Amino acid sequence: MLRLYDTRTGRAGPVRPAGRGVLRLHSCGPAGDQPGPAAQVRGWLLADLIRRVAEQHRWIVVASQASTSLEPEPPQDGALRAARSTLNVRPPEHAPRAPESAGLITDLIAKLIAAGHARVSGGSVYAEGPAADGIDQVLWRGAGSAGPVPGWPSPWGPGHPARAAACAAMALHYLGDAIDVHAAAGPGQDDQRERALLDAAAGHQVVRLWVRPGPLLASQLPPGRDLAGQVPAEHGLDPLAVRYAVLERHYRQPLELTLAGLRDADAALRRWRRQVAGWATSPSRPADDAVTREVAAALDDDLDTPAALAALDRLAASEAVAPGAKFETFARADQVLGLELAAEVGR
């Protein structure tokens, strides 16, 4: 059984899809991100790992990855998609953006006002009662406080939605009022505001498990370079070395990415690929059941990827397991790890 650490309760809880075999997974990215920033890369990989483990349980995953950028057509959208693809992150079923969801957002705010969960003041809208998280939680910023970006029209005058209101509106529209897992885009994301709005709008608890990655720091890497493309390319590294390096650390623990660490990850990834290619030339054997179970148990235990990688490392060094069995075991594990371990087979 897959268990994930719920930041709302402070303990690990089981993942039980509310829909029959359908897991609804939501994440909402911060506005204004450039391709491949450290925090967002870890958020992408967390959501992708949850998806892949869920699919091993034969669940159908319906994922929504919303963007709160206020720009009508952010120039970085294409680069962001390319960065996710480079990291082998599977695309979500829904990728709504705030400007295209303006009607959904204002409708949600109007519903909260009608229910007495929000009030209008000076062209802005503030949450009240169960929809509020702290004093004067803003839902809609009037044009006077919205900054230099041109305001959107609304029943309360021009302005912009707060991030939590935009995220909540898109989540409810695309996934409904029973969401299994909310995977935060980064460690600093304020889940409480979004949770208060979701539950007030639906009248019940909407999200069962709130999952958040620890901080990913890249202060020692060249500034202004994205982790998914530019940094690996400039140093002759495989882009998936970034993914490997992230998997080496438990997702809730802080991680400092350095160029030396990425080079080590690149070397480990290439070594595994060479080994897998060599094992592929041997007679086929069934996957090693003990290691397969160990890897699956580690991933089910709050996505313990370091333990899963360690189990595979021990298998690679074992002389008691046939090469063909090693190949099948690594190939099966890679369905979740997403490292393209068979990339060198046949070359």
Q: In this predicted structure, what is the pLDDT of residue 9?
A: 94
Mean pLDDT by 10 residues, the chain (347 residues): 95 93 90 56 94 97 91 65 88 93 96 96 92 82 65 90 94 97 77 92 96 87 77 91 97 93 97 98 96 98 98 97 98 98 92
Q: Cα separation of 89 and 45, whole Å? A: 7
Give pTM, 2 decimals. 0.93
Enumerate residues 6+ apart whose C-beta is below 8 A from 289: none
Token representation of residue 231: 């940094």
With a pLDDT cut of 90, the percent of the chain lying above it is: 73
Q: 145 pairs with which residues across the strands?
A: none
For the chain, the helix, strand and coil percentages under 3-state DSSP, each to the nearest 5: 45, 15, 40
Q: Cα separation of 56 and 46, whole Å? A: 16
Maximal CA-CA distance, the chain: 74
Q: In this predicted structure, what is the pLDDT of residue 77?
A: 63
With a pLDDT cut of 70, the percent of the chain lying above it is: 90
Q: What is the pLDDT of residues 116-162, one digit of tens each?
A: 999 999 899 999 988 888 667 899 999 865 455 557 899 999 999 99
Angle between helices 323-337 and 305-317 (to 10 degrees): 160
Residue 103 phi, psi dihedral angles, 5° rounding: -65, -40
Q: In this predicted structure, what is the pLDDT of residue 30?
A: 61
Question: What's CA 340's distance to the chain center, in Å?
Answer: 19
